[in-house]
């Protein structure tokens, strides 16, 4: 294909036609690249959302740490003693028996509230609620 016509002048129409074909093929390639990038972004976004949901499921199912169990035990110990002091003097013979009674009652109601067989199976996301329950526990609410 020659770009010079019989009069020895460049064939501008043919040049423009060639350039137009090249531009169109580049446009098709760029469109394909763009469409591929959009699809990839959608796939990545979907995967990120899926991973976030899985992470949340794991967080929601993780139970109390040893430190949190200790804090909960301490809260129950303090609350059972406080409740008993409100009703008996420490020198009273029923003091220790009543502390134990309140302690068992708190643990029992706590396990029922959080639907667990052992307090250590309370989920970490429920830790603050369990501490609040213990601190606000009133035996009168369950008698």
The domain limits of the chain are 11-61, 66-142
Question: Exposed, middle or buried by CB within 10 Å (0-12, 13-18, 19+), for 88?
Answer: middle
Per-residue pLDDT tens for 80-120? Answer: 999 999 888 877 788 899 999 999 999 999 999 999 999 99
Cα Rg, the chain, nearest whole Å: 37
Per-residue pLDDT tens for 2-31? Answer: 555 556 566 888 888 899 999 999 999 999
Helix (H, G, I), strand (E, B) or coil at 63: strand
Percent of the chain past pLDDT 90, that is, above it, reads 71
What 8-state DSSP symbol labels residue 123? B
E strands along 6-122, which residues?
none
Structure tokens, 3: 């770009």
What is the pTM assigned to this prediction? 0.62
């Amino acid at each position: 294909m020659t770009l010079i016509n019989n009069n020895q002048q460049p064939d501008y129409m043919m040049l423009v036609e060639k350039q137009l074909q090249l531009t169109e093929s580049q446009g098709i390639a760029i469109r394909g690249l763009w469409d591929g990038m959009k699809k990839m972004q959608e796939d990545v976004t979907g995967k990120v959302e899926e991973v976030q949901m899985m992470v949340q499921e794991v967080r929601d199912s993780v139970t109390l740490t040893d430190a949190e169990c200790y804090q909960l035990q301490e809260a129950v110990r303090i609350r059972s003693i406080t409740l008993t002091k409100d009703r008996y003097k420490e020198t009273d013979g029923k003091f220790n028996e009543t502390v134990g009674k309140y302690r068992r009652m708190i643990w029992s109601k706590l396990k029922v509230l959080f639907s667990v067989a052992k307090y250590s199976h309370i989920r970490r996301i429920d830790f603050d609620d369990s501490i609040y329950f213990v601190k606000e526990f009133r035996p009168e609410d369950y008698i």
